[in-house]
Amino acid sequence: MNMRNEPKPATGRRRTAGRLDERKYSKYFKAFGDPTRLRILAFLSGGESTVGDIVREVGLTQPTISRHLAILRDAGIVADRRQGQQVYYSLNKTAVAGCCDGFCTGLEIRIVTDRGRKKSRKK
């Protein structure tokens, strides 16, 4: 133990900041950190939808849903495409998986896979 009563790293090396891209993960967690945005993401996990579909599902106004979608889009979690007058939104599953994987790798967290085996994230 050191002077501040904190355990030393097991390897004896000093921990260094910068393993994570703080700005990138701050955007991700801002996007994930709101119950309405989580409801939108859960809805979009079922497939592509228009703003009108999301408004009906979530039960909030179109401007409110659009504001939440802008935050999700800015974080790269939601993609959009225009077809005529309609804008379709979809969950960017690759970005969500990359966020989870990258965050856990940066913190050296081991992930249990669906088969029950631990997958090491240390390099």
Number of domains in the chain: 1
Q: How confident is the model at residue 15 (pLDDT cuts 50, 70, 90)?
A: low
Q: What is the rounded CA–CA span in Å between residue 20 and residue 25?
A: 8
pLDDT of residue 90: 96
Q: What's residue 103's pLDDT?
A: 65
User: Is residue 79 included in any domain, yes or no?
Assistant: yes
State how far the alpha carbon of 109 is from the alpha carbons of 30, 100, 103, in Å. Answer: 21, 11, 9
In a domain, 29, yes or no: yes
> Is 81 contained in some domain?
yes
Report yes or no on 63 lying in a domain: yes
CATH of the domain at 85: 1.10.10.10
- Structural domain including 74 reads 22-92
Closest by Cα among 59, 43, 35, 50 to 91? 43
Question: pTM of the predicted model, to two decimals?
Answer: 0.68
